[in-house]
Amino acid sequence: MMTDETPAIEGALDFTNDWFKPERRREWMQLFERIPGRRLLEIGSYEGASACFLIEHLGGRHPIELHCVDTWEGGVEHQTVRTDMSEVEARFDANIGRATAAAGHPVRFFKHKGLSRLWLARLIASGLSNRFDFIYVDGSHQAPDVLTDAVMAFELLRVGGVMVFDDYLWAEQLPQGRDPLRCPKPAIDAFVNLNFRRCRPMMAPLYQFYVQKTAH
């Protein structure tokens, strides 16, 4: 059944998972009622489900600029499941192409293939500090990587912009239990605590964590 949260072009897109769930779409639609969403950066794109939502929803309202960073090699958590990442990347390319073609307004799209810490450094070095309205952090789920992504992406976020961390409460289920270095939460908590004077947590479902930049 089509709902307001279902992209109109959904049937034309090709996804093999439902990580970007209808409730996430609904929550992000509410968020974009409160903040502008013209300059967007995503760390971790996989097949492009969240990126296509941004193109469909925001590109239907006004021109957007979207940067997607991914190795298209999968995270540590993908290594136990046999995933052909070249097929994932091909689906990403096709999905983004279709979503962009169907968007009501121009989409300036940038695909950055490689490690997020290297691409974030390049974006900072190319003068994009304080540029983005919205940054989605959904790449590596290893705590040291999440902390690096958070610190570097925050430099790219403008004051008033919002950074959303996915999988705040997710942890890899390992034979020995959970490992605090193999989940995002300790990194997100450390980042938010140390940047207490520069950001504020926003009301959001606990599975994702939103922080708004309040100062340079």
Binding site for ligand SAM (CB under 6 A): 19-20, 44-47, 49-50, 69-75, 115-116, 138-140, 145
The CB-of-15 to ligand SAM minimum distance in angstroms stands at 7
Question: Which CB, 27 or 47, lies closer to ligand SAM?
Answer: 47
Question: Which CB, 94 or 198, lies closer to ligand SAM?
Answer: 94
Terminal C-alpha separation, the chain: 45
The CB-of-33 to ligand SAM minimum distance in angstroms stands at 21
Question: Which CB, 23 or 214, lies closer to ligand SAM?
Answer: 23
Segment (H or E) for 151: helix 143-156
65: helix, coil or strand? strand
Q: Tell me how far CA of residue 135 lies from CA of 65, 71, 117, 153, 186, in angstroms.
A: 12, 17, 14, 7, 19
The CB-of-54 to ligand SAM minimum distance in angstroms stands at 10
The CB-of-150 to ligand SAM minimum distance in angstroms stands at 13
Question: Which CB, 10 or 198, lies closer to ligand SAM?
Answer: 10
DSSP string, 155-198: HHEEEEEEEEES-TT----BTTB--TTSSSHHHHHHHHHHTTTT
